[in-house]
Structure 1
Amino acid sequence: MSNRKWSLGLVFLVLIFGYVLIRFFAASTRVDDLVQRIGRGQGVSASAKHVVLIAQELDNPFWREMEQGAVEAAAKQGMKIDYMGPIRIDAAEQTKLLEKAIAAQPDAILVQGIHDAKYDQWIDKAVERGIPVLTVDADEADSRRLAYVGTDNLEAGKQLGRFVVKDAAEGAVIGVIIGSELADNQRLRLEGFRSVISMAPNFQIIDVRSSNISRVGAAKQAEAMLKEHAGMNVIVGFSALDAPGIVEGMQAAGRKNVHVYGFDDLEATRKSIAEGRIRATVVQQPAEIGSEAVAQLSRLFKGEKLPRQLYIPTAIWDAEALKSGGEG
């Protein structure tokens, strides 16, 4: 019987591996096709501007919303958006996509910053070749990118800090989960959050861990923190999947009465806010970021000078805000 179970398990693993492999090659083929289409200008008038939007993760809801905003704005401005990104978050793959996009000579590139010297060099190379680059979501300030369009992540961290201090008025022992220790937007959110918490009496941050931008990772880290720190009564997540993962980690640790705060507007986050398991979330506007980035490119193509940074406002959504239609 044990041999039979082992054989079935092996077959199952082989099937999973095959599925992942097929998805990988399919995505690679799709990306290569997109790059070729950029070069050929397939299906677009000769006067249309070709813009490449490189996402951090291809099918991430945040980036799909940004794509939608960019595509809708581009249609009004006589531009064509070609959207691409890694299947899973992978800085090396994101760099390769930037390299391929530059080789295809589009009219402009929109890309997330990843705070990496090699990435800076590729952005600089694009600009040297006459391809303007704007960063979205996270900046690459040390590069020659022309402008950043997105959230003011330092201020967003402060915004969440002020809400936590007001919401947990008697004080808090806080754990923090960030998506990545390397991501500049995560670093800035944490910096802003710390600056507020450090000034509040009876509030302290006692642990900071990384989820690797994974719901499972956030759940494991939250469970570990809660088991290690018996007095922890607040956990904050700074990437989109962190707060739902933290809720799962609380359940695994057998802990209740822990206030959870997060980032972004996911269905799982909304549901948990409505059910009282998440107190609030900082909501960004990815569609507006995409739309505004295209608007800035339109200005650039007309010869206008762009601001170095253009911040898109964020809002706090709690249960009351959701009941009133998400106007925090």
Structure 2
Amino acid sequence: MKISGTKGFVASAVLAMSTLGTAPVSAEGTLACEPGETYIMNVMVSSHPYWVPVYQGFKQAAAAFGCETVFSGTPDYDITKQIASFEQDLVKSPAGILLHPMQADPFIEPINRAIDSGIEVTTFAADSPNSKRTAYITSDNLAEAKFAAEEIVKQIGDSAEYAVLENPGQSNHDLRVTALISYMEDNFPNMKLVGRQATNQDSNAAYRATASIVQANPNLGAIWIPEAGSAEGAVAAILEAKADVLIMQADVTPVTLEHIKAGNIHMALNPNQGMQGFMGFMSVFLAAHSDVFDPFNDYKVSGFNPMQIPYMDNGFAVITKENADSFDLNAYMEGRDPK
């Protein structure tokens, strides 16, 4: 029988493998943790409520594979202290770490050292793209900024004044702000940016900055805030000034959720935190167990971990007065182990 073309090549290859007795790669029974195999989630400002659903998702995925988990990080907003906590995690020799790096570049060397020592690292919500991290899990910050810009224009018109607060140095927050400003410039050129203040997730700094912006710009129509800590201070200043200013924010805290319910904050764009943690665990677990699959690439000769996910979008939810009850953290945590 004559065999020709691509089908013939594949058939010949299969025949050759069967003749030589080559065993196919199989992951059957291998996707499970060894006793004591541990994965760590490391964050900054560890008491922030944002991490709670993320860690719950992380634990849910770990439990499915019989793995142990640890929540780690620093209570401070301090890059030096977070790196120190990461260094302490490395001493424990975990199989992998799901990391929210406060800043990208200072974490390059620690992440690379972890990878080189056999400890896999996935970043989430903020990235260190020039490091050797194997995956990055986040919501689409460009999509969030576009949604926020269009919603602001929908509510106050396309020839109005707006302001932003920001948190320079944290990649996801930077992108949420710069992308919104760029989108306004490109699509709504009559929208005027009249205030831009760095508040660094400090509600007191946000209160002072917002009060100053409102006082200097009596026609201010809206303010965009890339995280919930600053939104807490901003809404207090706007309510105190009795100003008619539309507030849009990213993320959510119990405090800002109550303001959404009361109509003081228009809406929040909140990453799907549980999915972020669940997929974050899956990515770092698979990186640590990459020997279970054999992709069609050059990883065997180049030496890189074949489990690479440059970017995974965990999606985001729009929180409004109508659906706010679904984001009640206390209700979510009922019956769950917080540790």
- TM-score, normalised by the number of residues in structure 2: 0.77
Contact 2:98-2:121 within 8 A present in 1 as well: yes
SS at match of 2:80: helix
Q: Deviations over 1:38-79 (max 9, x none)?
A: xxxxxxx95342111111221110112211111121111121
| Residue in 2 that maps onto 1:246 | 234
Indicate the RMSD between aligned Cα atoms, in angstroms.
Answer: 1.9
| Residue in 1 that maps onto 2:309 | 307
Note the C-alpha offset of 1:321: 4.2
Measure the CA separation in 2 of the matches of 1:269 and 1:115. Answer: 25
| Residue in 1 that maps onto 2:113 | 125
Q: What does residue range 1-328 of structure 1 map to in structure 2 within 5 Å?
A: 47-178=35-166, 180-198=167-185, 199-252=187-240, 254-303=241-290, 304=293, 305-322=307-324
CA separation of 1:83/1:322 partners in 2, compared to 1, >3 Å: closer, same or farther? Answer: closer
Measure the CA separation in 2 of the matches of 1:251 and 1:203. Answer: 23
Note the C-alpha offset of 1:299: 2.6
Tell me which stretches of 4 or more aligned residues in structure 1 moved more than 6 Å.
Answer: none
SS at match of 2:44: coil
CA separation of 1:104/1:302 partners in 2, compared to 1, >3 Å: closer, same or farther? Answer: closer
Contact 1:160-1:316 within 8 A present in 2 as well: no
Measure the CA separation in 1 of the matches of 2:89 and 2:49. Answer: 22
Measure the CA separation in 2 of the matches of 1:161 and 1:309. Answer: 24
Contact 1:134-1:145 within 8 A present in 2 as well: yes
Measure the CA separation in 2 of the matches of 1:320 and 1:200. Answer: 28
Q: Deviations over 1:205-263 (max 9, x none)?
A: 222112221222211111111112222121111111222211111134x2321111112
SS at match of 2:168: coil
Note the C-alpha offset of 1:317: 2.1
Note the C-alpha offset of 1:142: 0.9
Larger radius of gyration: 2
Contact 1:77-1:298 within 8 A present in 2 as well: no
CA separation of 1:171/1:255 partners in 2, compared to 1, >3 Å: closer, same or farther? Answer: farther
Measure the CA separation in 2 of the matches of 1:297 and 1:117. Answer: 21
Measure the CA separation in 2 of the matches of 1:103 and 1:269. Answer: 38
Measure the CA separation in 2 of the matches of 1:190 and 1:97. Answer: 29
- Aligned length, in residue pairs: 279
The runs of 5 or more residues in structure 2 that have no matched partner are: 1-32, 294-306, 328-339
Higher relative contact order (CA 8 A, sep 6+): 2
Note the C-alpha offset of 1:267: 2.3
Measure the CA separation in 2 of the matches of 1:149 and 1:182. Answer: 18
Residue identity in the other structure for 2:210: A
Identity over the aligned pairs, expressed in percent?
20
Contact 1:48-1:78 within 8 A present in 2 as well: no
| Residue in 2 that maps onto 1:16 | none
Note the C-alpha offset of 1:101: 1.3
